[in-house]
Amino acid sequence: MSNLKLFFYILLLLLLLVFVLQNYATLTANHSLHLNLGFINLESVPLPFYLTAFLLFVMGFLLAGLVYFFKAHNLKKEIKSLQNLNRTLETERQLLKDRSDPPTQIKTPLPLPARK
**What HEC string does the chain produce?**
CHHHHHHHHHHHHHHHHHHHHHCHHHHHCEECCEEECCCCEEECCCEEHHHHHHHHHHHHHHHHHHHHHHHHHHHHHHHHHHHHHHHHHHHHHHHHHHHCCCCCCCCCCCCCCCCC
Q: Which residue has the higher pLDDT, 2 or 77?
A: 77
Residue 26 falls inside a structural domain: no
Q: Are 31 and 46 in contact (CB under 8 A)?
A: yes
Residue 6 falls inside a structural domain: no
Total tally of structural domains belonging to the chain: 1
Give the domain range for residue 74.
49-98
Residue 14 falls inside a structural domain: no
Mean pLDDT is lowest, of 49-53, 57-61, 63-67, for 49-53
Residue 60 falls inside a structural domain: yes
pLDDT for 25 beyond 80: yes
User: The whole model's pTM is what?
Assistant: 0.53
Residue 91 falls inside a structural domain: yes
